Amino acid sequence: STKFVIEGLKAQIEGKEILKGINLEMKGGEVHAIMGPNGTGKSTLASALMGHPKYEVTEGTVLLNDEDLLEMEVDERARAGLFLAMQYPSEIAGVTNSDFLRSSINARRGEGNEISLIKFIRQMEGKMKELEMNPEFAHRYLNEGFSGGEKKRNEILQMMMLEPKIVVLDEIDSGLDIDALRIVANGVNAMKSEERGFLIITHYQRLLNYITPDYVHVMMQGRIVKSGGPELAEKLEAEGYDWIKEELGITD
C-alpha cells in the first residue's frame, strides 16, 4: 500500500526560511488536513513537495513508497504518483485543456503505454459529467478565462484522470460556492481508495464537512504544531488559532 513520509523538511524562498522542519506520515486510504493561519507556509509545503524551482529545500527527506522525491525532477515526481492542485492554477495560452490532460496522462503512463484517443475522450467526458463541467471546457485553452470555481473543478478533473497515489489539494475550496464545493468534494470522495492518500490544505473548516479527514494538523510559522482528529478542525472553526498560540507560547 502507498506510504508517504515527510521528515525534517526545511525550505526557503529567496534566502528566507519558511519551512522549519515538517514531519508528516501518511498511508494510502488516509485523508490528512493541514490547517493554519495565512502566511504560515502551507502553500510553500505544497510547492516544495512538487519541486517548484523558487523553493529551495535545504534539509529533510520526502519518501513516496521508499523513493526519494526530492531527488526527482518535477515530471518524475508526477510519474511517481504525486499530484498537486495549486491554490492559483496557471493559465496556458495555446494549449487546450484536453491536449494538456492527454499529454499529462501519457507522461504518467510512460512511453509505449499511451492511452488511446478513444479511451481518453470517453474517460474525460465521463469525468467532466461527474464534475458537472460544460463539455466545451475540453477545447478551451487551459484555465484561460476560467472562473475561480471552474479552475478548481478543472484541477479535480486532472486529479481524476491522472489517478495519483498522493494528492495534495491546496485551498481547493477557496472561491467555491456551496454547489461547486459539493461537486468538488464528491469528486475527491469518489477517488478515495486504499492505494491513495490525500493531503488537504485548507484555511477553513467548511470543506471538511464534505471530506472527512482522518487526521488534522495545524501548521504555524513553518511547523506542524498540533495534530488531532476531525474534532480539532471544529475547534479551530469555533475558536480560531489564538488558543494554540497561547498553549505553545507563540507571540507574533
Which residues of this protein are in contact with ligand ADP, per CB under 6 A? 13-14, 18, 36, 38-44, 54
Q: Which is nearer to Mg ion, 2 or 87 (CB)?
A: 87
Residue 90 touching Mg ion (CB under 5 A): no
Residue 154 interface partner, choices Mg ion, ligand ADP, none, CB cut-off 5-8 Å depending on type: none
Considering the complex, state which of residue 42 and residue 151 has its C-beta at the smaller distance from ligand ADP. 42
State the DSSP H helix or E strand holding residue 194, giving kind and residue range, or none if neither: none
Q: Which of Mg ion, ligand ADP, none does 136 bind, CB closer than 5 to 8 A by kind?
A: none
State the nearest-atom distance from the C-beta of 182 to ligand ADP, in Å.
24
CB closer to ligand ADP out of 140 and 245: 245
Query: Torsion angle, CA of 165/133/103/57, rounded to 10 degrees?
Result: -50
Phi/psi for 38 (5° steps) reads -60, 145
What cell numbers appear for 91 in the block? 493559465
| Closest CA relative to residue 190, chosen from 216, 210, 207 | 210
Identify which of residues 40 and 97 has a Cβ nearer to Mg ion in the complex: 40
Q: Which is nearer to ligand ADP, 13 or 121 (CB)?
A: 13
Query: 247: how many CB neighbours lie within 10 A of its CB?
Result: 10
Q: Which does 13 bind (CB under 5 to 8 A by kind): Mg ion, ligand ADP, none?
A: ligand ADP
Q: Least distance (Å) from ligand ADP to the CB of residue 242?
A: 17
- Tell me which of ligand ADP, Mg ion, none is bound by residue 158, counting a contact when its beta carbon lies within the kind-specific cut-off of 5 to 8 angstroms: none
Query: The C-alpha cell of 159 is what?
Result: 486529479
Strands (DSSP E) along the chain, which ranges?
3-13, 16-27, 31-35, 55-64, 67-68, 82-85, 92-96, 141-142, 166-170, 197-202, 215-220, 223-228
The CB-of-88 to Mg ion minimum distance in angstroms stands at 9
Residue 89 contacts residue 26 (beta carbons within 8 Å): no
Minimum CB–partner distance for residue 218 and ligand ADP (Å): 11
Q: CA 218, CA 190: separation in Å to the nearest integer?
A: 26
Q: Can you tell me which of 43, 47, 143, 154 binds Mg ion, judged by CB under 5 A?
A: 43
CB 232 within 8 A of CB 226: yes
Nearer to Mg ion, 41 or 164 (CB): 41
Residue count at the site for Mg ion (CB under 5 A)?
Answer: 4
Q: Least distance (Å) from ligand ADP to the CB of residue 195? A: 28
| Rg (the chain; Cα; Å) | 18
Q: How far is the CB of 26 from ligand ADP (least distance, A)?
A: 19
